[in-house]
Chain A
Amino acid sequence: ETGVTQTPRHLVMGMTNKKSLKCEQHLGHNAMYWYKQSAKKPLELMFVYNFKEQTENNSVPSRFSPECPNSSHLFLHLHTLQPEDSALYLCASSQVGDRGYTFGSGTRLTVV
């Protein structure tokens, strides 16, 4: 596998469920990102990890909990989400300081 892989591609969950999104990169990058894409809004940066350490949390509600066990893997743990959290969640990676990112295909999340 090459590039940035996200699983699952689609997820439907109830508001009381707990689920996790997974991201894996095979590019040797040392920075990983979670983005949220909602309709009619720009891509919103949620979290940044540089060398496995979280360096940025853009006021994301605590019902979203990231985890970065190593430079190649990134998780987003979801708990008691709201219907307005339904969106496309994109993972990206880069070398720290790089100007551009490589994105995964995203997880389309629907909260019912």
Chain B
Amino acid sequence: DQQVKQNSPSLSVQEGRISILNCDYTNSMFDYFLWYKKYPAEGPTFLISISSIKDKNEDGRFTVFLNKSAKHLSLHIVPSQPGDSAVYFCAASGLNAGNNRKLIWGLGTSLAVNP
């Protein structure tokens, strides 16, 4: 059973417009959420994160929103640029029964920003 779900495998957006990538989670013990970006033939790179005590975190063109009651988070990219074309992974972090921190990943959403 997937604890972190990215239901849209792909998304296509026009350059300059907003890209919205969505992520849902099931485990209320998650207390930290991260977005990673991955280009082909490279490893994922950290993009932005948010603690469960916040509902918004902004870094330049990237904003992550967290709705704890809905167990939903989203990544907004404004304005979208062709260089943003990549796979975006949502990840959730929480302590397991052994008090070890675990990172659980979604399947990723492939974003294509068209010029």
User: What residues of chain A have their CB less than 8 Å away from a CB belonging to chain B?
Assistant: 4, 6, 9, 40-43, 45, 55-56, 90-92, 97-106, 108
Contact = CB atoms under 8 A, between A and B. Distances in A.
A106 B101 CA distance: 23
A99 B107 contact: no
A24 B78 CA distance: 36
Chain B interface bracket (under 10, 10 to 19, 20 to 34, 35 or more):
20 to 34
28 contacts: A4-B43, A6-B43, A9-B41, A41-B107, A42-B2, A42-B4, A42-B105, A43-B44, A43-B105, A45-B102, A55-B100, A56-B100, A90-B43, A91-B43, A92-B43, A97-B101, A99-B93, A99-B101, A100-B34, A100-B46, A100-B49, A100-B93, A100-B103, A101-B103, A103-B44, A105-B42, A106-B43, A108-B41
B12 interface: no
Interface of B: 2, 4, 32, 34, 36, 41-46, 49, 89, 93, 100-108
A43 B103 CA distance: 10
Contacts, number: 51
A92 B100 CA distance: 17
B43 A40 contact: no
A41 B44 CA distance: 15
Contacts of B105: 42-43
